[in-house]
């Protein structure tokens, strides 16, 4: 058992698109990390100043669907508010996710955004605990 | 792909025989080298499509097929509502009615050579591209509803184009049966500032030179000659379509058991055509098609403005506008009987052959133009729907090259700046807000579009008419 390892995120390959994955001791942190992986598809999350914040809530009985909704809600908010997020605070209480996302307006010179993301998909969509008892939240996003 | 499980019917036709839960066989059109290199997932996904209720004849994959969501990209399938046929959000895809239109310019390469840089800069200035770009048109609620009902016809009525454009757009620029009330407030909000924007990823606007003619008669009919300059726009229904896809994919996945549909893959989420959910999706998806048609029409208008500022006499007429990600009701003969079928084409082009009653008068005797997109540095093609292709894949053909390499691999292999410089040395000017985006879309990250087009030609899906090479590319 090694669930004290630091939270982290990674990408995984898909032929046309890209996989996002968060790995952390708790499900909430895994969702935060996967959100960073989502941002990293677009730009460097470290280059985003957390000057604005936005509250997000979603609810779903199935953790997979909750994750799907969380990622899609972030995509929706970034698109409509013209924002990029660089930091997340997520709390999951049973079926309810409440979160704050911190970020700033898109600056095309500074952020050099590589691509827009159309949506989260069901492909490779999984929220589970691995053999190290770490939570993993992942899916492919369509770009 | 492991070809051991396939029966080769002829040089370019491979069959996966009906087995297990498959209701029909699956057919892949490709030559040996394309099928050998084709992702194994295509085989798995097209087999899964063949299990869906009400599928007719066979599930088809085009020569550019690759791993998609549920359906492979390059997947074609027909469903009969009278046989419990389904409509699948995964079978249409997230970018509803993403497609291509090509415009004549009346200019030749000689005319534009000295103005190439100015033209590239002017197009880049005029066409909003990339993440965070905003269109100049913001639609209020009533305008949004009118756009979702009216498509390119609405755009032309607003002054974004000419009535002749509509004759050369599928569905005459307006998909009937759209139901904007089924498009969520979120989907509409996502589109609020995105009308007349190009988007990113593989979307582009390209100035192209005709470099080869394969069929002189049809090329003349299409108005194409060697050294002509044309402009091609590749984009879709933007945020509105993506949101519709996202919402209905989830609704259909969650409701599948209610409709007693066993999904081999959640991405094949679908509902019976005649169910309330199926009807709702059809209304929303058709509104999404109209959004894409309106968007390409507005981009056409902006392109005309940019070109006119440098070449005041140029007249940009539309060759044709085709969509890649749709489900359309079409009449096809099944066992000698005419039937109304719901044809899903995901990453595939409708390619009506000569004589089809729905073709515009200009193309009735030769067949429909089929526009095949390239990938920044590689060539594009104009094809034409082939005779009798209705019996091969419900009058469908390929749509482009399809990716051969992941974005991650591409960014490891290439740097955006080096690509821009290398393409400039080849005479191709790239304008894009993102160097990383360029690296991810590197020309060699895609399959060989020429091999795909040759296979589609040899398989009798469509005929080669002309090859186009890029001169200027505006990437999102």
Q: Does B73 touch chain A (CB under 8 A)?
A: yes
For B202-225, the pLDDT digits (tens) are 899 999 999 999 999 999 999 999
Query: What gap in Å lies between CA B438 and CA B441, rounded to an integer?
Result: 5
Query: Residue B179 CB: number of other CB atoms within 10 A?
Result: 17
Q: B418 CA to chain A: closest CA distance, Å?
A: 16
| Average pLDDT value for chain A | 94
Angstrom CA distances, B153 to B171, B178, B424, stand at: 10, 13, 38
Q: What is the pLDDT of residue B327?
A: 98
Residues contacting B190, CB < 8 A, separation 6+: A76, A79, A80, B238, B239, B240, B242, B243
Q: Count Cα atoms within 13 angstroms, Cβ side, for B58.
A: 19
Mean pLDDT over A51-76 rounds to: 96
Residue B275, pLDDT score: 97
The two beta strands, B337-346 and B325-334, are antiparallel
∠ at Cα B396 (B475, B474), nearest 5°? 10
Cβ neighbours around B58 below 10 Å, total: 23
- For B188, name the nearest residue in chain A, comparing CA atoms only: A80
Q: Which of B406, B415, B445 to mutate to test the interface with A (most CBs of A within 10 A)?
A: B406
Residue in chain B nearest A14 by alpha carbon: B406
Instruction: Report CA Rg, chain B.
Output: 21
DSSP H/E element including B380:
strand B380-385
Residue A1 pLDDT > 60: no
Q: Tally the residues of chain A.
A: 143
| pLDDT, chain B, mean | 95
**Whole-number Cα distances in Å, B460 to B31, B59, B72, B368, B468:** 12, 17, 21, 14, 21
Catalytic residue positions of B? 399
A116 chain-B contacts, CB cut-off 8 A: 130-131, 199-201, 476
Task: Determine which of B147-156, B179-188, B263-272 has the lowest per-residue pLDDT on average.
Answer: B263-272
Q: B281-330 pLDDT, tens per residue?
A: 999 999 999 999 999 999 999 999 999 999 999 999 999 999 999 999 99
B405 falls in which pLDDT band (50, 70, 90)? confident
In tens, the pLDDT along B5-54 reads 899 999 999 999 999 999 999 999 999 999 999 989 999 999 999 999 99
pLDDT at B423 over 80: yes
pLDDT of residue B133: 83
Instruction: Give the position of tokens 């050099």.
Output: A112
CB B295 within 8 A of CB B147: no
- Average pLDDT, integer, range B232-237: 96
Contact flag A122-B41 (C-beta cutoff 8 Å)? no
Contact B182, B287 (CB under 8 A): yes
Disruptive mutation site among A105, A115, A143 for chain B (greatest number of B CBs within 10 Å)? A115
| pLDDT tens digit sequence for B377-391 | 889 999 999 999 999
Please compute the mean of the pLDDT values over residues A33-53 and round it to a whole number.
Answer: 96
Q: Using pLDDT thresholds of 50, 70 and 90, give the confidence band for residue B358.
A: very high
The per-residue pLDDT for B408 is: 83
| Amino acid B335: pLDDT | 85
Is 80 exceeded by the pLDDT of residue B472?
yes
At residue A124, the pLDDT reads: 92
- Number of neighbouring beta carbons within 10 Å of residue B460: 20
Closest CA to B408 of A38, A118, A17: A17
Q: How far apart, in whole angstroms, are the C-alpha atoms of residue A131 and residue B109?
A: 62
CB contact under 8 A, A113 and B132: yes
Q: Is the pLDDT of residue A102 over 60?
A: yes
> Which residues does chain B have within 8 Å of residue A73's beta carbon, measured at their own beta carbons?
none
Alpha carbon of A109: minimum distance to chain B alpha carbons (Å): 8
DSSP state of B174: -
Its sign, for the CA torsion A102, A107, A109, A114, is: positive
Q: Characterize the bridge pairing of strands B59-66 and B26-29.
A: parallel
**Residues B234-248, mean pLDDT to the nearest whole number:** 96
Across the interface, whether the CB atoms of B436 and A125 are under 8 A apart is answered no
Measured between CA atoms, the residue of chain B closest to residue A83 is B132
Reported ipTM: 0.92
Spatial distance between the Cα atoms of B48 and B68, rounded to a whole number of angstroms:
12
Q: Which residue reads 């990383």 in tokens? A: B436
Q: Which residues contact A43 (CB under 8 A, 6 or more apart)?
A: A84, A111, A112, A113, A114
Percent of chain B with pLDDT over 90: 87
At residue A2, the pLDDT reads 54
Kindly identify which residue of chain A lies nearest to residue B239, measuring between CA atoms: A118
Pick the closest to residue B234 from B122, B325, B368, B132 (CA basis): B325
Among B37, B70, B71, B131, pick the best mutation site for testing chain A contact (most A Cβ within 10 A). B131
Q: Which residues 231-270 on chain B approach chain A with CB closer than 8 angstroms?
A: 239, 242-243, 245-246, 249-250, 253-254, 265-267, 269
Q: Are B352 and B358 in contact (CB under 8 A)?
A: yes
For residue B375, the model assigns a pLDDT of 78
Rg of chain A in Å (alpha carbons): 14
pLDDT grade for A3, boundaries at 50, 70 and 90: low
Average pLDDT over residues B138-166: 97
Interchain contact, B132 vs A123, CB within 8 Å: no
The set of residues, in sequence order, having a beta carbon less than 8 Å from that of B337 and lying 6+ positions away, is none
Please answer yes or no on whether A122 and B266 come within 8 Å at the CB atom.
Answer: yes
**B37 in reach of chain A (CB within 8 A):** no
Cβ-Cβ contacts under 8 Å, A14 against chain B: 67, 406
Q: Do B183 and B190 touch, CB atoms closer than 8 A? A: no
Residue A79 DSSP one-character state: H
Q: What angle do CA B134, B137, B142 make, to 5 degrees?
A: 125
CB contacts, 8 Å: A143 with chain B: 200-201, 407
Confidence (pLDDT) at A57: 97
pLDDT above 70 for B119: yes
Whole-prediction pTM value?
0.96
Q: Is B312 exposed, middle or buried (0-12, 13-18, 19+ CB in 10 A)?
A: exposed
């Amino acid at each position: 058992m090694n669930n004290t390892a630091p939270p982290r995120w990674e990408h995984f390959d898909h032929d046309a698109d890209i996989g996002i994955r968060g790995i952390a001791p708790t499900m909430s942190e895994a969702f935060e990390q996967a959100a960073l992986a989502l941002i990293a598809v677009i730009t460097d999350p470290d280059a985003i100043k957390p000057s604005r914040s936005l509250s997000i809530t979603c609810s779903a009985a199935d953790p997979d669907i909750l994750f799907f909704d969380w990622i899609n809600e972030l995509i929706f908010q970034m698109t409509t508010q013209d924002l990029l997020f660089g930091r997340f605070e997520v709390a999951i209480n049973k079926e309810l996710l409440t979160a704050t996302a911190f970020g700033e307006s898109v600056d095309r010179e500074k952020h050099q955004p590589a691509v827009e993301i159309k949506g989260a998909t069901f492909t490779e969509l999984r929220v589970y605990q691995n053999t190290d008892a770490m939570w993993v939240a992942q899916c492919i996003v369509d770009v | 792909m492991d070809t051991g499980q396939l029966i080769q019917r002829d040089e370019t036709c491979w069959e996966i025989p009906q087995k297990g839960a498959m209701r029909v066989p699956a057919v892949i059109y490709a030559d040996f080298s394309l099928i050998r290199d084709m992702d194994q997932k295509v085989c798995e996904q097209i087999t899964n499509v063949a299990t869906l209720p009400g599928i007719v004849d066979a599930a088809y994959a085009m020569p550019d097929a690759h791993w998609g969501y549920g359906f492979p990209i390059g997947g074609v399938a027909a469903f009969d509502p009278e046989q419990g046929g389904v409509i699948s959000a995964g079978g249409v895809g997230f970018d509803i009615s993403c497609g291509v239109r090509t415009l004549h310019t009346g200019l030749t390469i000689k005319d534009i050579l000295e103005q190439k840089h100015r033209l590239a800069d002017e197009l880049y200035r005029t066409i909003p591209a990339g993440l965070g770009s905003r269109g100049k048109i913001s639609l209020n609620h009533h305008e949004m509803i009118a756009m979702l009902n009216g498509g390119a016809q609405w755009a032309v009525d607003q002054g974004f184009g000419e009535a002749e454009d509509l004759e050369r757009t599928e569905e005459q620029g307006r998909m009937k049966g759209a139901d904007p009330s089924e498009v969520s407030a979120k989907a509409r909000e996502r589109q609020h500032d995105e009308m007349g924007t190009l988007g990113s990823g593989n979307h582009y606007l390209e100035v192209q030179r005709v470099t080869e003619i394969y069929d002189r008669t049809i090329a003349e009919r299409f108005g194409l000659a060697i050294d002509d300059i044309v402009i091609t726009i590749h984009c879709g229904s933007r945020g509105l379509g993506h949101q519709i896809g996202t919402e209905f994919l989830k609704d259909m996945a969650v409701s599948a058991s209610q409709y007693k549909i066993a999904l081999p893959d959640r991405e094949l989420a679908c509902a019976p055509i005649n169910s309330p959910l199926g009807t709702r999706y059809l209304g929303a998806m058709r509104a999404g098609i109209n959004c894409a048609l309106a968007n390409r029409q507005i981009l056409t208008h902006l392109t005309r403005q940019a070109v006119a500022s440098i070449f005041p006499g140029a007249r940009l007429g539309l060759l044709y506008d085709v969509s890649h990600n749709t489900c359309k009701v079409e009449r096809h003969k099944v066992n000698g009987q005419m039937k109304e079928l719901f044809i899903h084409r995901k990453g595939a082009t409708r390619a009506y052959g000569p004589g089809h009653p729905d073709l515009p008068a200009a193309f009735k005797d030769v067949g429909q133009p089929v526009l095949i997109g390239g990938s920044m540095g590689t060539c594009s093609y104009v094809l034409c729907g082939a005779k009798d292709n209705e019996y091969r894949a419900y009058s469908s053909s390929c749509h482009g090259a399809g990716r051969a390499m992941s974005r991650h691999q591409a960014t490891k292999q290439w740097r955006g700046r080096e690509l821009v410089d290398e393409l400039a040395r080849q005479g191709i000017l790239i304008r894009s807000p993102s160097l990383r985006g360029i690296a991810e879309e590197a020309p060699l990250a895609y399959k060989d579009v020429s091999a795909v087009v040759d296979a589609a030609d040899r398989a009798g899906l469509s005929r080669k008419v002309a090859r186009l090479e890029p001169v200027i590319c505006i990437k999102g």
